[in-house]
A and B are shown apart, each in its own frame.
Chain A
Amino acid sequence: MKSRKLLTGPYLFWSVSFVIIPLFMIVYYGLTDKEGGFTLLNLARITTPENLKALGLSLLLSLGSTLICLLLAYPLAMILAEKKVRQSSFIVLIFILPMWMNFLLRTLAWQNLLEKNGVLNNILHFFHLPSLTIINTPYAIILGMVYNFLPFMVLPIYNVLVKIDRDVIFAARDLGANTIQTFTKIIFPLSLPGIISGITMVFVPSLTTFVISDLLGGSKILLIGNVIEQEFKQGSNWNTGSGLSLVLMIFIIASMALIAKYDKDGEGNAF
């Protein structure tokens, strides 16, 4: 077992060089001003009303999109898990396939679909249905998030579900559990690690995105990602940008800790 642990070595070296040290550079920038002196002002910038609002909205939208992703993905992963292995691996690949079209292009394509004179409205118009105007609203942003990040929810859940021993389910059935009981007592608890991995994979990119809100929100809606991006690009104030990133990271670490706690319980069941 000891020699196995050594396998982590190269990765550890890599992480320290390219993850930890760069982060300290952000910390350094975040805690200093332009002249290099220590300051907490960069961190305090999060408390301005507009930054707080951006953070709140980001949280709301990312929580919403994560929930929608979970609700969509779970039944989907279950349906996929029921299929025969070869066929379903094909179906799973179908979920990653869209990513072969560039992310920016795909998101831009939603503009074509959702616009006032867009494809969707033309179809609705054809059936004499009222038109849908969600482009440039928070709803379009949620749609963009769900669209872009759904595969990251489906795949981990699916990966866990296919590993569940069928006999456990049959046993539950034999012992008199109905479909709902089998689900709540067996399948769901066993799939928890996948769910949690999925939630992290959807929640965080949603929380920090700036491209989706830019392309589908008409730049009218400012998320915390946009604020940071503007500090780096338009304001070219790396110190403030780093400070805000630090705040965001504190936030991410808090949610990570929460998830780690959950995952511990899940781990017990997984073995």
Chain B
Amino acid sequence: MKNIAKKIYLTLIFLLLYAPIATLIVLSFNNTKTRSKWGGFTGKWYLSLFHNQDIMNALYTTLIIALLSALIATVLGTAAAIGMQAMKSKIRTFLLGITNIPMLNADIVTGISLMLLFIAWRFTLGFSTILLAHITFNIPYVILSVLPKLKQTNKNIYEAALDLGASPVYAFYKVVFPDILPGVFSGFLLAFTMSLDDFVITHFTKGPGIDTLSTKIYSEVRKGIKPEMYALSTILFLTVLLLLILVNFTPDTQKEDKKKSRKITHIHKISSLIFKKAVPALMVIVITAGGIFYHSRNQMSTQNQVIVYNWGEYLDPDAVSMFEKETGIDVVYEEYETNEIMYPKVQSGAIAYDVVCPSDYMVQRMIENDLLAEINYNNIPNLEYIGDIYMEQSKQFDPENKYSIPYLWGTVGILYNKSMVDEPVDSWGILWDEKYEDNILMQDSVRDAFGVALKYLGYSLNSTDLDELEAAKKLLIAQKPLVQAYVIDQVRDKMIGNEAALGVIYSGEALYCQMENPDLEYVIPKEGSNLWIDSWVIPENARHKENAEKFINFLCRPDIAKMNFDYITYSIPNTAGRELIEDESVRNSTIAFPDPSQLTNCETFQFLGDENDTLYNQLWREVKSQ
């Protein structure tokens, strides 16, 4: 009875631990790009995975960092633990306190503090800074795994060994070390896996062009995870599982008959051979190869390149490889999730980006803070393909069209599910209709959320009037009980999966959603909305300005603009590129290319100054904390 209860308990825990993993494995065989719809079985993601240079690079970086940081942390940590054990308990407690700091501190604080340090010390953010950071947060795991083992070692045996004439080192190696070895090993494993699993700290300490799987996934969250990522995770997971089974194959020699046991011992020998020889050898190979790889990469990086800092999933990777092939310029590509994440990174100057793609109000803010260089328009002949109306629009944030070149644009509106909403949708007001309680998805960003409320109240979405903002805040608080979730990226997946009836969404996403789920319809509410433009700019401290201009010029070419549109479905200001779109219904889609009459009440965001920014953030926090 008791045994059965134990087994049931174990099974339940394993179900809890492995249900999400099973889900991810299933998703890796899903024949659609969205996670909320099953499109049939496919193995194609496993094939395309190996052609995806970005993911493979990220995987490689992740493994090298995990391995190196775990190894170094294990050596440092084990030595430290042994030393600490020999100390007086007061000093030890104090040291343990220090050890606990990186573990107990919030990841984000550790990350930020290290970033501040690296910048103060003028380290270039990159591979080495990630490694240093990972070692730092890995050591405590090793120490905390080794110390309990050390505490349980029997002092008397060690002293007996000394009495019997063993040297302290020998006695330690023979008596104490075998006892603590499981702790060292589990410390290494923990460190390795923690490094593998870390996101926040890496995010703050990494430089351009380098990504671990975590940061790669995070940059993909905005647009939905690429299915290749599920495939890669599945492969990783199954490999480790297989390795574990092999290593831990338990020969129970006593119970088996002789012949069988010989066979099993044989397997056991193989597995121990793999574990003792092959795995370390493999590690050495990986590290050396990695060293050479990074060395050559670093050499390359001093040459002809352009460092691009763009929104996640905001450019067809094929276009990048085409550019590299045509010009011989190396593209170092990095992604961000929001304007607000991008801004401090550019401002700090820690990394000299060459091309960045901020939104309208952020372009204005960067101009006002002297962060941008004037673009030499002679170097960008393809500018002629950009519609005049968009250059005119840009003057709202770049009054003389000196600093920015429009890249993509769109509106913000309501996406609704016709099978759940049977009344006509034409006003923001429907987002306050109690009928749709728990069926509404709101944007999780300050300006977008306040934009909706301000527009509904008939105010400008650039309002700085305290009364108007208070009213908008009250409205948002009143709406909160009706809201199912505040999201940025997941509107798409949730709407496709029929999880909600109404969602505030960017027009570019709406087009994709409609392709996946025909029940969905997009509308720009009559009160007006946000008309946004994301533009290419060149930071003041760019080191490869000419390459940056070549890059922008390349992206303004009609065929490239069209290729990009096919890939990300966001509206392009490239009129010649639009003409190339084959599908007529898409070319004339009012979602992608709304009629000017639909845009009469629309406004573009403006930068309102640092003080008003703080005010908005403060009010938004009050909404969120209700």
B39 adjacent to chain A (CB < 8 Å): no
Q: Are A100 and B24 in contact (CB under 8 A)?
A: no
Q: Are B10 and A90 in contact (CB under 8 A)?
A: no
- Contact residues of A: prevailing secondary structure: helix
Count chain A CB atoms within 10 A of each CB in B89, B100, B244, B483 and give the residue with the most: B100
A249 to chain B: closest residue by CB? B105
A5 adjacent to chain B (CB < 8 Å): yes
B109 adjacent to chain A (CB < 8 Å): yes
Q: Are A22 and B485 in contact (CB under 8 A)?
A: no
A232 adjacent to chain B (CB < 8 Å): yes
A125 adjacent to chain B (CB < 8 Å): no
With contacts A8-B83, A105-B225 taken as known, whether A100 is within 8 angstroms of B20 at the C-beta atoms is: no
Q: Are B35 and A112 in contact (CB under 8 A)?
A: yes
B120 adjacent to chain A (CB < 8 Å): yes
B111 to chain A: closest residue by CB? A232
B98 to chain A: closest residue by CB? A15
Q: Are A3 and B97 in contact (CB under 8 A)?
A: no
Q: Are A5 and B225 in contact (CB under 8 A)?
A: no
Which listed residue (B21, B27, B80, B106) contacts A98, Cβ 8 A?
B21
Q: Are B485 and A233 in contact (CB under 8 A)?
A: no
Which listed residue (B95, B136, B626) contacts A8, Cβ 8 A?
B95
Chain A residues whose CB sits within 8 angstroms of the CB of B82 once the complex forms: 4, 7
- Bound together, the chains give a CA A95 to CA B229 distance in angstroms of 22
Q: Kindly specify which of A35-43, A167-175, A217-225 makes contact with the partner chain.
A: A217-225
Number of interface residues of A (CB under 8 A): 110
CB distance from B458 to the nearest CB of A (A): 26
Number of interface residues of B (CB under 8 A): 118
Q: Which of B123-137 contact A (CB under 8 A)?
A: 132-133, 135-136
B198 to chain A: closest residue by CB? A103
Q: Are A119 and B96 in contact (CB under 8 A)?
A: no
Q: Are B499 and A29 in contact (CB under 8 A)?
A: no
Q: Which of A51-98 contact B (CB under 8 A)?
A: 51, 53-54, 72, 75-76, 79, 84, 86-87, 89-90, 92-98
Chain A residues at the B interface, C-beta cutoff of 8 Å: 1-12, 14-15, 18-23, 25-26, 29, 49-51, 53-54, 72, 75-76, 79, 84, 86-87, 89-90, 92-113, 115-117, 119, 136, 147, 150, 155-156, 159-160, 163, 193-194, 197, 200-201, 204-205, 208, 210-211, 218-220, 222, 225-230, 232-238, 241-242, 245, 248-249, 252, 256, 260, 264, 267, 270-271
15 new A-B pairs (CB below 8 Å) besides A95-B17, A248-B109? A4-B85, A4-B168, A12-B80, A76-B9, A101-B21, A101-B237, A104-B214, A105-B217, A106-B24, A108-B35, A117-B499, A205-B107, A220-B480, A228-B106, A233-B341
Chain B residues at the A interface, C-beta cutoff of 8 Å: 6, 9-10, 13-14, 16-21, 23-24, 27, 35-36, 76-77, 79-80, 82-87, 89, 93, 95-110, 112-114, 116-117, 120, 132-133, 135-136, 139, 143-145, 148-149, 151-152, 155, 168, 182-183, 186, 189-190, 193-194, 196-197, 199-200, 213-214, 217-218, 221, 225, 229-230, 233, 236-237, 240-241, 244, 248, 250, 338, 340-341, 343-344, 444-446, 480, 483-487, 490, 494, 497-499, 613-614, 617, 621-622, 624-626
